[in-house]
Amino acid sequence: MSHVFLSVIDALPDGAAAGFDAEVNGEQVPLLALRRGAEVRVFHNVCPHAGRRLEVAPGRFIIDAGTVMCAAHGACFTIPAGDCIAGPCRGQRLREVPSEVRDGALWVDAGR
């Protein structure tokens, strides 16, 4: 299994979201890292409602009350679990990419 380096953990503020592009399974895809304390999880940056990216502008996410909000129609996803708790896709979740924190750095599983 190979991994792709995403970020130094110190560059991801607690309670925030950060966007990255990375090659997963041979394809360049937009990813979203969500951090709460020491826990960081990585997801495809694709809203389950209508398939849009979540951010307002490149790298700018709407964070509100422990959630990241999709800029398109307002779906709210918990940080860091990625569960939708409000909006048009309530009950669904962001699609997770296996990741790990190792020696202060965030890595994602690059797949094949």
Binding site for ligand FES (CB under 6 A): 47, 49-50, 52, 70, 72-75, 87-88
Shortest reach from residue 41's CB to ligand FES, in Å = 18
**Residue 19's beta-bridge partner residues?**
32
Q: Smallest gap, in angstroms, from Cβ of residue 100 to ligand FES?
A: 27
Structure tokens at 27: 């394809």
Closer to ligand FES by Cβ: residue 73 or 95: 73
Helix (H, G, I), strand (E, B) or coil at 80: coil
Query: In this structure, are residues 9 and 106 in contact, taking their beta carbons and an 8 Å threshold?
Result: yes
Closest Cα to residue 101, out of 1, 30, 7, 17?
Answer: 7
Q: Which of 72/105 has CB closer to ligand FES?
A: 72
Single-letter residue type at 57: A
Q: Quick one: 88 or 111, whose CB is closer to ligand FES?
A: 88
